[in-house]
Amino acid sequence: MHNLEVIFWLFVFFITAFFYSSTGLGGASAFLAYFSMMKIDYKIIPSLALFLSVISSLTSSIIWIRSGNFNKKTIPLIIFSFPASFLGGKVIVQERTFNILLIITLVSVGVSLLFERKKLEKEDVEEKGLLEWLIALFLSSAIGFFSGIVGIGGGIFLIPLLVKMKFMNQKEASAAGAVFILVNSISGFIGQATKIKPDIYSIAKFSIPVILGAFLGSYISSTKLKPSTIKKIFGSILLFISLLKFLEVVGLIRLTR
């Protein structure tokens, strides 16, 4: 890439980490989309996105835990998802398969960000039986496995699951999602690293703006944009990029390097 392109993408990663961290998300889905647009080798894209997700979700995880909203019911879900994410990271997929999974991920995340979920209050949380726990543990493992393959933390899928099943209220689910993203990003990255050597140069280059953006986004909690507005903006961006990737996969357009 030319110098101006590098500067542009570094700025984009900084802004993305800033706003994603202010909403409690890791940003891996956006990082995946950007790396794909930059035409980086698809084999190393998941490890890059996962490493940056570790960086951006670390601060938000600490903040959520210190806030007292982290529910211990999250621990079994993390325990079951951690090895699944590692195994997913070890899976070798062809480029076309990866692009299809990427499109599915971007569309799913984009729609999730665009449409607000109903807030679940503490009094609406229900006690769960063995069957419901088994279902939740299976789904958390499935999310971890899929996330490890594609290169995301999976919190964007876990949070609505916990709210929909009435396991936790909104704040507890968000806290669970932040820690889930951090742990699964680490696990998935390790799995990815076992099959292909990570691109240390790209990791170092993009880590700087992500660290700065995530720190400032978490530190400066008051911003003119509401979290719901931020989510809708990035949801629209991800859907647009997923459309471009779909058109590229079917051969209607060619994204230049």
- Tens digits of per-residue pLDDT, 59-94? 778 877 887 888 888 999 999 999 999 999 999 999
Backbone φ/ψ region at 146: left (φ over 0), alpha (ψ -120 to 50), beta: alpha
The model's pTM: 0.86
**Is pLDDT above 70 for 227?**
no
Tell me which amino acid residue 152 is.
I
**Size of the chain in residues:** 257
pLDDT tens-place string over residues 101-123:
999 999 988 888 887 665 555 55
In percent, the amount of the chain with pLDDT more than 70 equals 89
Q: Report DSSP letters for 190-203, one per residue.
A: HHHHHHS---HHHH
Mapping DSSP to helix (H, G, I), strand (E, B) and coil, where does residue 116 land? Answer: coil
Closest C-alpha to 242, from 89, 142, 54, 114 = 114
Cα separation, 50 vs 192, in Å, equals: 9
First to last CA, the chain: 8
